[in-house]
């Protein structure tokens, strides 16, 4: 088996993209109010969150996600098309479907599912693209 090619800088940038995309996706410009209603979280509950803990853990977990996808895309024939395709397959086929399964048992609304799965799919597609093109 060949040693997979991993661009470690690209992986780190992909982890950062989780914060950038999430910051935009869940901002008032896009889905914040709809997401807040769908989750049932009040302004007071959101204000009690520890941003350092939340964003730090998000970055670490996104780094793990990015490395995982980078290993799947580690073949030297990987290009942006395969990266994008693999990202979409991972976003739709693994993570969003598992998110939906968990959400069904939590009895979450369709709006909740669409907002969160939309973010997941866009994020995975973008990091697949970045990992595929930034060889």
| DSSP, residue by residue, 55-81 | HHHHHHHHHHHHHHHHHHT-STT--HH
What's the CA angle centered on 134, arms 132 and 135, to 5 degrees?
A: 80
Structure tokens, 49: 């969150």
pTM of the model: 0.94
pLDDT in tens, 31-53: 999 999 999 999 999 999 999 99
The reply to whether 125 falls in a domain is yes
Total tally of structural domains belonging to the chain: 1
The reply to whether 127 falls in a domain is yes
- State the Cα–Cα distance between residues 79 and 38, nearest whole angstrom: 38
Which comes out higher in pLDDT, residue 105 or 135?
105
The reply to whether 3 falls in a domain is no
φ and ψ of 52, to 5 deg: -60, -45
The reply to whether 1 falls in a domain is no
The reply to whether 2 falls in a domain is no
Residue 44's domain comprises 8-133
The reply to whether 94 falls in a domain is yes
Predicted confidence at residue 37, as pLDDT, reads 97
pLDDT in tens, 106-125: 999 999 999 999 999 999 99
DSSP 109: -
The reply to whether 83 falls in a domain is yes
C-beta of residue 74 within 8 angstroms of C-beta of residue 10: no
């Amino acid at each position: 088996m060949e040693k997979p090619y991993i661009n470690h800088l690209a992986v780190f940038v992909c982890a950062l993209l989780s914060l950038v995309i999430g910051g935009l996706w869940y901002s008032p410009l896009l889905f914040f109010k709809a997401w807040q209603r769908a989750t049932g979280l009040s302004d007071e509950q959101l204000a009690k969150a520890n941003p350092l803990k939340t964003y730090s853990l998000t970055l670490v977990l996104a780094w793990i996600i990015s490395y995982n996808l980078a290993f799947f895309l580690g073949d030297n024939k990987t290009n942006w098309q395969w990266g994008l395709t693999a990202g979409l397959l991972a976003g739709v086929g693994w993570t969003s479907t598992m998110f939906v399964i968990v959400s069904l048992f939590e009895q979450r609304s369709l709006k909740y599912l669409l907002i969160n799965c939309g973010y997941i799919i866009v994020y995975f597609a973008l990091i697949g693209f970045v990992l595929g093109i930034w060889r």
